[in-house]
Amino acid sequence: VVDDAIVVMENIERWKASGAGKRAAAVIGTREIVFAVIATTLTLAAVFVPISFLPGQAGALFSEFGFVLAFAVLTSSFVALSLCPMLSIRFGRDTAPKAAQNRNGVMAKAERAYRSILEFVVNRPIIPVLLSLGFATFGYFAYQGLPNEITPTEDRGRLFMVVQGQEGSTFAYLDDKVRLIEDRLRPLKDAGEAEDIISLSGRGGANSAFVLITLPDWGARDFSQQDMEAKVRPLIASIPGVSAQVRGGNSLGIRGGGQGLQFAVLGDDYVAAAEAAEKLSAVLAENPMFSDVRPNFRFSRPQLSIEVDRETASQLGIPLSAITTTLAAMSDEFRAAELFIGDDVIEVFVSAGGEPVDDPTDIANLFLRTSDGTFVPLSSVARVVEAPIAATLSREDRRRAVPVTATLVEGARLGDAIEALRAVAADVIGGNMSTSLLGEARLLDQSTGSTGVVFAFAAVIVLLVLAAQFESFVSAFIIMLTVPFGLAAAVFAIQLSGGSLNYYSQIGLVLLIGIMAKNGILIVEFANKRRDEGLTVRDAILDASMTRLRPVLMTAISTLLGGLPLILGAGAGAESRAALGWVIFGGLGFATIFTLFLTPVTFLMLARLSKPRASEEQALARELANVARPPA
């Protein structure tokens, strides 16, 4: 936001240092830099818009982010070109400060050193070109090796668990189990490792509960949330009658976040799919990347099935409708008739009186009337079978699905877990079965395939915007040529910081495209002006690089210092903010070097392919001067 103001004010101060008064410096300095400011503003606004079109949930989460930044940049450019010159006249010095004119100052020495190095690389362009290509090549391989995940592993300062009781358990039974969990967790609170333990029994059903554990402030503890999760899991794993899953959540509030790898085994039969899921879970459990692998499919709900011997029932003259009607009336109720009295409809239900039928033996002893009028027990024509069934039946991709949850150990990445699953799934499950990713894993798989498209889309937009403003694809290409090397630098920063390719780092990489183009615009635009004034390509780029050294460094330093709080910050979601900060800090740091050295070399090599803009104006003036006056 402050970059435009820095560029305008630096140019005004440069004119003051050359002897102009503060009013003249404000007018001339702003007029000279107005095209560069507008070009950088439109470029940054153009690169922010693709962020709003990120695919899947990323686009929904960051749609406001892109438009807000674009509006802020447009507003800052208006302020820089209007308010800043006025304030420099109203409150600025009449002349430049003496420190700016000191030839032995730090900046003067830096400019002389930069001039020497710049002339060296300009005279030997093959050296920076080969170094840049090597840097980009290593950056590409580093990018291929980056782990993928939705969000970085975060210390949110609290963890929670979902407790699920066995099917058919009562609220009192579940509440007793939750109290047992609290008793096992209480030593953690007594030791100061947990501040509060809050439980809600009956949340989501009579056999479900929710337990929340809040941790001390980040500065008051020397362990992470992931360390606490590893300590809690063994405490609750051996409680019979319930299953408890520990989760951590994420800063984006993605539903089901923090559960690790979730997938489903798809098949045509639930029993076969459940067996395949058990086998696959056992294989994944041997991988040290996973701490707990379990299918979320249990045959735990009891069900009574009535298997009718149709041949015997037919011989006795007992129709199936009589059997179903008797079962409905004796076990629950049966709608026997509807009476219409005026405009009212009265339904008549038949139900059994006396003691309720709540035992399989009672059902087997129900009597049925045969065709000859005698009564026989239900057990003579049917068999009562009691067997467990699944509590819920899931479907994915229009097939029967058995969900599986695989919890990751600390330091494991979701992208690596997906690759581990795909490596063994085909050999474990049958040929007529398949796997389908769920939850965060599905979101990651969807976003990974389209990240490159978003980067390419952003680069093309910036290239077209620059070409339209400079009226030259050569100038636009010179500016954009440094972008891949800055992205490679950002990849190295992610790798050295132990980060991953996630939503936040992807946003940082897209932003870096616009930030890098901004610095290139300052140099190329001024070099084109010097060419229009008659300088050679070499003299024009050398003069432009030296003139724009100060604003390039000032804007880079301000952005780097602005990114430091993201890296050094603490608290909930600090890991996600650091992921964005490292991309900007590391990428922009190296990108500034490429802008200061590679851009001049590229300009020297490619600018000769285009003519100065003033040449066309001069040609037009000569033609108009040679046109004879038409006869009267």
**From the CB of residue 269, how many other CB atoms can be counted at a distance below 10 Å?**
12
**238 Cβ neighbours under 8 A, 6+ residues apart:** none
Cβ–Cβ under 8 Å, residues 225 and 160? no
Average pLDDT, stretch 535-551? Answer: 86
pLDDT interval class at 43 (50, 70, 90): confident
pLDDT at 106 over 70: yes
Q: Which CATH number fits domain 301-390: 3.40.50.1980, 3.30.2090.10, 1.10.10.10, 3.40.50.300?
A: 3.30.2090.10
Cβ neighbour number for residue 404 with a 10 Å cutoff: 23
CA distances from 150 to 62, 292, 444, 512 (A): 13, 20, 6, 20
Three-class SS state of 537: helix
What tokens does 215 get? 């941790």
Q: Token digits for 114?
A: 């930069």
Query: For residue range 269-295, what is the model confidence (pLDDT) as tens digits?
Result: 877 888 888 888 888 888 888 877 877
Evaluate if residue 512 carries a pLDDT over 60.
Answer: yes
Token pair in block for residue 418: 């997906």
Residue 397: its H or E element: none
pLDDT of residue 450: 63
Residue 434: phi and psi, rounded to 5, are -150, 175
Question: 208-262 pLDDT, tens per residue?
Answer: 888 888 888 877 888 887 788 888 888 887 788 777 777 776 666 665 555 678 8
| Candidate ranges 7-21, 70-84, 565-579; pick with highest mean pLDDT | 70-84
Model confidence at 362, pLDDT cuts 50, 70, 90, reads confident
Average pLDDT over residues 530-539: 83
Distance of CA 385 to the CA centre of its chain: 50
Sign (positive or negative) of CA dihedral 431, 263, 164, 281: positive
Q: Say what the pLDDT of residue 253 is.
A: 61
Q: Which two tokens stand for residue 591?
A: 């990108």
> How confident is the model over 469-497, as a mean pLDDT?
82
CB of 491 closer than 8 Å to CB of 139: yes
Q: Which pLDDT belongs to residue 449? A: 60
Average pLDDT over residues 116-126: 86
| CA 373 to centroid of chain Cα atoms | 73
Minimal CA–CA distance to 514: which of 471, 482, 546, 469? Answer: 482
- Answer whether residue 613 shows pLDDT above 70: no
What pLDDT does residue 554 have? 87
Question: What is the homologous superfamily of the domain 3-145+450-610 according to CATH?
Answer: Multidrug efflux transporter AcrB transmembrane domain (1.20.1640.10)
> Model confidence over 401-454: pLDDT tens digits?
888 888 777 777 777 888 888 888 877 887 788 888 887 777 777 666 666 677
Measured in residues, the chain has a length of 632
Q: How confident is the model at residue 340 (pLDDT cuts 50, 70, 90)?
A: confident
Structure tokens at 18: 């050359």
- Percent of the chain residues past pLDDT 90, beyond the cut: 0
pLDDT given at position 462: 80
Which residues touch 546 (CB under 8 Å, ≥6 apart)?
Answer: 111, 114, 115, 118
Q: Which two tokens stand for residue 545?
A: 């690089």
pLDDT at residue 255, as a whole number: 55
- Per-residue model confidence (pLDDT) at position 501: 80
3-class SS of residue 349:
strand
* Residue 149 falls in which region: left (phi positive, over 0), alpha (psi -120 to 50) or beta: beta
Q: What is the pLDDT of residue 628?
A: 56
Torsion angle defined by CA atoms of residues 562, 564, 570 and 573, in that order, rounded to the nearest 10 degrees: 70
3-state secondary structure of 216: coil
Adjacency order of strands within the sheet including 196-201: 196-201, 208-214, 158-165, 242-247
Which residue has better confidence, 353 or 185? 185
**Using an 8 Å Cβ cutoff, are 264 and 221 in contact?**
no
Report which of 559, 593, 575, 592 is spatially closest to residue 497, judged by C-alpha positions: 575
**Confidence band for 606, pLDDT divided at 50, 70 and 90:** confident
Domain parsing of the chain, residue ranges: 3-145+450-610, 158-297+398-440, 301-390
DSSP 219: G
158-297+398-440 carries CATH number 2.60.40.10: no
Tell the residue number behind the tokens 């490619």, with chain if given: 606
**Residue 586 · residue 490 · CB < 8 Å:** yes
pLDDT band at 486 (very low <50, low <70, confident <90, very high): confident
Mean pLDDT is lowest, of 20-34, 50-64, 239-253, 554-568, for 50-64
> Which tens digit of pLDDT belongs to each residue from 178-206?
888 888 888 888 888 888 888 888 776 66
22 close to 423: Cβ distance less than 8 angstroms: no
- When the pLDDT of each residue in the chain is averaged and rounded to a whole number, the result is 79
Note whether 52 and 461 are within 8 A (CB): no
Q: What are 214's strand-pairing partners?
A: 158, 196
